[in-house]
Structure 1
């Protein structure tokens, strides 16, 4: 087991002009230490099917920490009930994607072996990172893992056509035997973003699939509540993955695969807060934000608020 973590490009040194404020940069402590929430950047986007600057997202995500307060007005909750630590970034190989994935898996395994009670929060990066993170989690815990996957795409592309990419993490988890299809729930799938053969593959493997249209008709709340109840009886622990392109393109201009008819930020934030209260959830990621195509950090701000709502749930 090897720790591949390196110092992040942005580090806050403390100090503020107003003693009555409590920005995220004061709450999230620098350096690896035991914490309730352990944040790790995963700056990989060479594995994206289309051009993506998602490797710059961990830096953009951290830049925003000085702009937001660690206080949820609606719930009247201060996040300093929890300890949060920035463990830095996973070191990336310049050209070798498989080595990058090994580094990610090794860092995830290290985190959960050294700090088995922490919740890992991984900042992507493209969606290829989810496979090695969960593989590392599986090695560290040897437990049956459930997955709730928010995404416009199935991500079950055949790895024979292009190798491991942001379109293959769910297939890799299945083919490598890390997860069972029956333990995977995907929410937010969109028309004209997936193919019929890959839908058939996912269904044959036993994955549970909800489209963005299902969310519109049934509501996010009953779908997520059903997913929680369904997995509660089947698995030991649960991982959450949020591909920010599950949202409608009007909210997130800085995702590589923008598209109409996605879900709303409020729906996604509700899901994060609700699932944050579930003790079986041990980790999460936010992926596929490309700051190089964003507008005023709109997409990074959405990803950050997914995390903040999840943290709120942990406090409730």
Structure 2
């Protein structure tokens, strides 16, 4: 097996099994990479939550995510698409240092750089972890691509906190991307922002950097299709590649009780599912992540199930792009 330097087998493994010959479950389909075979989509865990500014058990998310594989099938009833022809492989979890957050971030950056160098046509999907993982993942991607990258972020928060007050955290990935010149502010679109979750000063910072901002209320009023059309139209002429980052707290607290920053008035799962499917289908989308799910605060895995559906709807978009 051709081992990856900063990625190890996950702590939780799933037994594929086969009960009903007419049903294919994710646990049968998403298998470990054998080190040789070609594949199209990589699943990678980033079990880090020490960098969260509020208490978070988001490091538990990759394991909870995988444990649900036996609960869902590969068939999208609404689209009449079976995902089985799409080759998805689990590469494992990025190695995390026990106490050194900066080292964890370096491991993520180096892991993503290696993945993109070795598998330039593969679309990696990163399961966080808190939102601090997005900056190093994009930094690693940027080293390899050397092209202009755009970001579409689904989040209740701006994530542009000043790194002088606490270092790189789940509240700083967008600011870090801009200040380290990984992504230009004008190439970032944030969708789903909520009142009483941000500050005027950070809004002014984001606007000054040219970041496009859409509130959850705008999505409710105008519709996710229109908002996404505007985002794609804005980025299409300028960027060569797009990274999609999904903070699950963008959804309403009634749907995702297991996020550290729950809040009312968020997006609906239908809106988010539709958006990520469209972005998976877009040929400029090269990677995505899902962050800030805390299984220790969840009820009946409700939030982890939502994040898994985000992943699956994104894969439906990829299927349409690669196999239609």
Give yes or no for the alignment of 1:180 onto 2:181: no
Give yes or no for the alignment of 1:14 onto 2:16: yes
Task: Tell me the equivalent position of 2:42.
Answer: 38
Contact between 1:34 and 1:118, CA under 8 Å: does it hold in 2? Answer: no
Cα distance in 2 between the residues matched to 1:217 and 1:13: 44
Match for residue 202 of structure 1 among 202, 206, 216: 206
Cα deviation digits, residues 234-275 of structure 1 (max 9, x gap):
100000000000000000000000000001000000001111
Cα distance in 2 between the residues matched to 1:291 and 1:279: 33
TM-score (norm 1): 0.98
Contact between 2:193 and 2:250, CA under 8 Å: does it hold in 1? Answer: yes
Match for residue 269 of structure 1 among 259, 263, 273: 273
Task: Tell me the equivalent position of 2:126.
Answer: 122
Cα distance in 1 between the residues matched to 2:38 and 2:65: 21
Contact between 1:12 and 1:30, CA under 8 Å: does it hold in 2? Answer: no
Contact between 1:150 and 1:246, CA under 8 Å: does it hold in 2? Answer: yes
Task: Tell me the equivalent position of 2:314.
Answer: 310
Equivalent residues, number? 315
Cα distance in 1 between the residues matched to 2:279 and 2:229: 9
For structure 1, the residue ranges without an aligned partner over 5 or more in a row are none
Cα distance in 2 between the residues matched to 1:225 and 1:118: 25
TM-score (norm 2): 0.96
Give yes or no for the alignment of 1:69 onto 2:59: no
RMSD of the TM alignment (CA)?
Answer: 0.9
Cα distance in 2 between the residues matched to 1:294 and 1:9: 20
Cα distance in 2 between the residues matched to 1:142 and 1:112: 12
1:185 match: secondary structure: strand
Alpha-carbon deviation of 1:282? 0.6
Match for residue 82 of structure 1 among 80, 86, 99: 86
Contact between 2:149 and 2:241, CA under 8 Å: does it hold in 1? Answer: yes
Task: Tell me the equivalent position of 2:173.
Answer: 169
Task: Tell me the equivalent position of 1:300.
Answer: 304
1:262 match: secondary structure: coil
Task: Tell me the equivalent position of 1:28.
Answer: 30
Contact between 1:182 and 1:207, CA under 8 Å: does it hold in 2? Answer: yes
1:284 match: secondary structure: strand
For structure 2, the residue ranges without an aligned partner over 5 or more in a row are none
Contact between 1:157 and 1:171, CA under 8 Å: does it hold in 2? Answer: yes
Cα deviation digits, residues 58-84 of structure 1 (max 9, x gap):
000000001000010010101012100
Cα distance in 2 between the residues matched to 1:3 and 1:131: 19
Task: Tell me the equivalent position of 1:144.
Answer: 148
2:255 match: secondary structure: coil
Q: Which moved more, 1:199-208 or 1:31-40?
A: 31-40
Cα distance in 1 between the residues matched to 2:42 and 2:177: 23
**Where does structure 1 differ by over 6 angstroms across 4 or more consecutive aligned residues?**
none
Cα distance in 1 between the residues matched to 2:250 and 2:5: 32
Contact between 2:14 and 2:66, CA under 8 Å: does it hold in 1? Answer: no
Match for residue 51 of structure 1 among 50, 55, 63: 55
Contact between 1:11 and 1:30, CA under 8 Å: does it hold in 2? Answer: no
Alpha-carbon deviation of 1:108? 0.5
Alpha-carbon deviation of 1:3? 2.3
Alpha-carbon deviation of 1:29? 1.5
Match for residue 257 of structure 1 among 235, 257, 261: 261
Cα deviation digits, residues 199-242 of structure 1 (max 9, x gap):
00000000000001111111111001111121111100000000
Cα distance in 2 between the residues matched to 1:171 and 1:230: 20
Task: Tell me the equivalent position of 1:283.
Answer: 287
Cα distance in 1 between the residues matched to 2:19 and 2:313: 26
Cα distance in 1 between the residues matched to 2:62 and 2:92: 9
